[in-house]
Structure 1
Amino acid sequence: MGLSIPPSILRKIIHFLIFISVAYSQNTVVFQPSYLTANGPVVNALLLGNASEVSLNVRIVSPSNTTGSIGSPSCVDNATQWILTKDQIGETVAQVQLRLDKGLHLCGENETDTDCCPQSLCVLETLQVSACVDGKPLASLLIQARMHALLFPESTENDNKTAFPSHLYQTLGSCPCDLTFRACDVRCCCDKDCSSEDLKLFASNCLLGPFGGHVSFVPDYQCSVQSAENTPDWFPFLCVSSPPENNPFLGLFYRGDTITPASSPSFQSSVLSAPVPVSIYTEGSPIFRMDDQYFTIPQKALGRCVNSAPIAFLKNFRVSCVTLLHSCPTESPLKMLPSDLSVRVKSGQGGYAVVSVTDDVVTDLSHFISNAGASDGRLVCEKVTLALDYTFYWTENRITNITLKRTVGTITLNNTVKLTTRYSAVFLNGDFMREPNSGNPGYQEERPVIGGIMDTLGNDTGSIQRTSINLWKPDADGLCSSALKKPILFGYNSTSGCLLPVSRHNVTQCNLLRKTVTSLQAALIPGTYVAKTGNPDPLNMTDWVNISFVTLNSSDAMKNTTNSCSGIPSHQYIHVWSVTTGVVDGVPQREILALQVSYGLSSWSLDCGGGDFSPCLDPMETQLFPITSSVTFTDISVNTGPPKTRFQINFTEYDCNRNDVCWPELAFPITTYYTGEPHTQSLAKGLILVFFFIVASILGTPWKQIRQACNCAPPQTF
């Protein structure tokens, strides 16, 4: 019985073989996926291949009334309400993003703003994104966009609202030792489940620290505990004076204060109170001008731009605001004089700082203006504010200087222009941007591991620029094109991944597929160094360790078939070795000794079983394959010294742990038991102190009386 192939399937196979032969003879690019359905204002896709010289354009297409097909791709760019951007994230992979340049709120009855939706079904259109080289289309992406308008309340002034409990009314760590639900925990005096009879049993033995939780206790050798009971006789002479912030404790509880809510009806709109100036600045507190008003610049709140939002101390931000211009602006923030920006700001400690303004005039407005028609020169707007970039220099709780770079330009209006303005604020401590640490000095658990990139300066000295070492953080759809990144946390083993759509066309180009997956995995670790401790010095290379990358063995023969590719580096393994170097105030100090990155290879093959042969026949039909990344932490135990001898084990007179009298504590600051500062410094200070003690003893009253007695004694004669 012979096998007969239908003519339609035979024609598809012939076209597919011709397409493969053309793809091998030239450098092709492919969209992954090639078809998307958009329900939101942002659409992401991947462009695989050599996309460095590829230009992208987008247009609105519609199916033919006769044939029903969309038509071939075109390199002619048409005006749409979408903003198309391309971000190169690897050698052979680029991320393509379309963002809707239009608001999704429903138009009001008398609203004249065109940036709204006249109907409930706001967007219903088919988009075609074409990748072109020298005016010839190489690949295309079809997007079916269907979005409904968002409903917002028309007025928020007199509307009633429900008052939800705020976390500011109660600290999150009010009773950390309350571990058992509806049961009294022993020695936990803040446990609400304990009755008065229960508290009498352990009222004198409550857990130490605020609310019964564990915090960094003050060591016994600190001079600040001189009033403690049973203080040794040598304490006032050999106590150690060290600032309380010189400890590795970074905090356990929510840093906000408890606020007592005012008695008011539950259903009532809140009334904004007048600003209350602060005496000193703390992290998150608003910055004030000399007239006791908030120092404000445009920012975003609840997804919308607010022209007058207070700047918070030590809070960096960068926002963009879109404005629809019908005429030249006459008010702030788009039209301002330098004198309006050069204001006096309270420094936080009684003084003030004046904002230093510098103007930067730009002529290329392509990054700020979109959907601008042909200019006929009817209306020219000069010195329009395009960007405001503030830089705050601070020390402790004080602002020392403020600089502002204002970007201005000339805009020619023709009907309507969409203007995108940018605003930013950066806080610098000295010359370095404020960056959080992960320990002091050793790493603390579940703090981000700090990576680094060598930044060569002009004076032949190198510094390390901080970066992060990441894992995959997939989005709702799980695709790698929309996945984010999350930093790995010290001591926390984790595994994550995303899905990559792969078609038969990709499987025929295994080398390109391997490079694409390698580029996606390499983007997780942009640095080449990892910090040993949680507060590394960017100028000290001894605080950093080289990241070891295990190269893939390319000498092995890659077995590729028609529907499969082998040797895909789909699994990334990050192995971190750490060691505990000591204990400071009861907190272990852990350092990173090495970090190794290796890859696991796998074979990807299309699944054509189950009666579905479309993935093996249609070159654009995709299947999802996983890409994973994992991190494993290994703590290496360090031998603190040679084993004890029989004499040391049996003789306990000088053992401070098994004897009430501890003679080594007599000279505690100059012994190795004291870890508050380097042993060499404490030993030098101790020897100087002993020298002065001996000199004072020799020159003191006892020796003076002995010398006088010797001098006054009559000579003896024999």
Structure 2
Amino acid sequence: MANALSFTFIHVLCLLLHCSASSAQNVVFQPSFLTIHGPSMTALLYGFSSKITLNLQAIPSSNVTGSFVPPSCVPGVTQWILTSELIAKTAVQVKLRLNRSLRLCGNNETDTDCCVKPLCVLETLQLTACEGNTSQASLIIQVKIYALLGSGNMVFDNSTIIQNQVYRPLGDCPCDLTFNTCDLWCCCDKDCSTADFKLFRYRCLTGPFGGQFPDPEYQCSVQSTQNSPDWFPFLCVTSPPENNPYLGLFYQGNTMAPKPGISFGGSVSLAPALSNAYTEGSPILTIKDQYFTIPQTLNGHCVTNAPVAFLKNLDVRCVTSVQACPTEFPLQTIPEDLRAVVKNGIAVFVGNVVVDVTDQLATELNEFVTSSDIFGSSGLVCENVTLALDYNFHWKENGITGITLTRTVGSVTLKGNVSLTTRYSAMFLSGDIMSEPNSGNPGYQVGRPVIGGILNTSIGNDTVLIARSPMHLWKPVNSGICSSADVRPLLFGENSTSGCLIPVSRQNLTECSLLRNSVHSLQGALIEATLVARNGHPDALTLADWLNITYVTLNSSGVEDSNSSCADIPSHLHIYLWTLVSGFVDGIPQKDIKAVQISYSLSSWRLKCGGGDSAVCMDPAETQLLPITSSVTFIDIPLNTGPPKTRYQINFTEYDCNRNDVCWPELAFPITRFYTGESYSQALAKGLILVFFFIVASVLGNPWRQIRQIWNTI
């Protein structure tokens, strides 16, 4: 026992010495010691450079002598496969995989690739990071793996079968949610003892969820002859108890089959569960199983920590009023805190991705800072304020291969009321190609961007390739000047109007042709696309999924230019989109775009010199702000207009069922020609039978009995 403790002490001391040496040279393994019970493992090496090589060797360890082998850069022979992957500039992900079978050998078996004993692998490995022949860091790995209980290729075909799942309510006790535990207020839970029932005996869950499946009142066996409604027993239903409206209430139509997996000895803890692959829209997780978050906007408000969804690009702006130098996230950040370790999501192995942070200095702060005190005295200078965080997620299949972050910082001078506009973005790149988000499947979803495109004709070979090009509207910020204004995407189903301001001087009004071309260029930059996707999930290789944009030719107003005014300025850009319900998916209407038209409204511009502001008309260089606007209108095409109304329907509105609460023509709807659910003869026969039953029930029921009693008393 003393020797074992001595060996452990020497072992830990050596590890600390190696870790401290590695830290001094900025090369370190994380973790620095591992105990594994499975055929694979993953570790991270920080401080990696091109001069560093990895060496793996099996080292002897004795509990009797307490000996320990120092790190060595001499290659050794092991039964493990060593691979490495560069995940950041100075970080490497190291993986080890056992290169042998864990199958337990059978009786009289001669195959050497199997385990003779249940304890199949018991050894100590040393992974060394070497620069030349010098050890920089080392990782000790204690391996203890038991043989498989069964064949790794064994397939289990048995599935969970629930008998008569179609003919009985599935689950006798649906509120029994916890296995081998008494659920509170669930009186049908068989795990509850008598003492447990006494605690909530009079507060049991009622209804089907509490295991109570009452028979419907229309069952003939439910109503008694003493207390029964007037229609009983002529309109009651005789049906077996197994046939009730609760059939399959908790049944979704599928059975689950157990998945085969690796199983080790019962006394040995299993290897960590493999991470699930990411799917579109699923949250990205860190190695601590927490959401990877960045600031985002929610209902117009900026949320500091909001989860990032896989393959969902975002680009948001947050406006904050700053009165003192910020000291907390997100306006004040530290690169070490931004280098988060994120799960890669690739299901074949457990791995991590480290965020690679790059800093850039913002010299022009007009985009970020707005101050009300422009001519005031010098104020407080806040250095290294975080102005933007731009993430690039590199992905492949269902995993993340790398994350790069560009942090934009700058020095902000606080004078007066300062509004700080910060930018946060996340872009998913497949290789060097940004992922293209869709706006529905198949029809457009309200609130998603309208997809524009440009036909790429440089490919040749009669190949069609449409590159996406967004469609924008004006989004004025700060002063509202067009030169500093932002743009926002055109959202499906949302009518909107926005604009910005252009500074115009008297000298500009002497060059009307140049002014018209400048305004037309500004407006045309909003819509660079020549095509629009018909639906929210277009194919870039199918021209039938796209529509041509129609432009209305500009017509001159006939007003001539003068020295003080310019006519026919395209100051307003209007976009018309006609939409139509093209079908239904699970009862949800799917809307497509059927036509797109873009037109301009022309106006005459002149400077206003009234109100005591005569400088703009006296000084040719003095400017005045004039507006230009952009708008979008969605026009729904009716699915079925129907035949035109007759003069009778127009004049006699009291008989129009669509404009009156009381509709007399539909009083006998089931036996009229308007009812098309079944043939007219069957509807008429069923209607007459229903009238007959109503008369019989009235004659034999309680009202007729009261009438006879009154008649007999007269």
Which band: TM-score by shorter chain? 0.3 to 0.5
TM-score, scaled to structure 1: 0.37
TM-score, scaled to structure 2: 0.37
Higher relative contact order (CA 8 A, sep 6+): 1
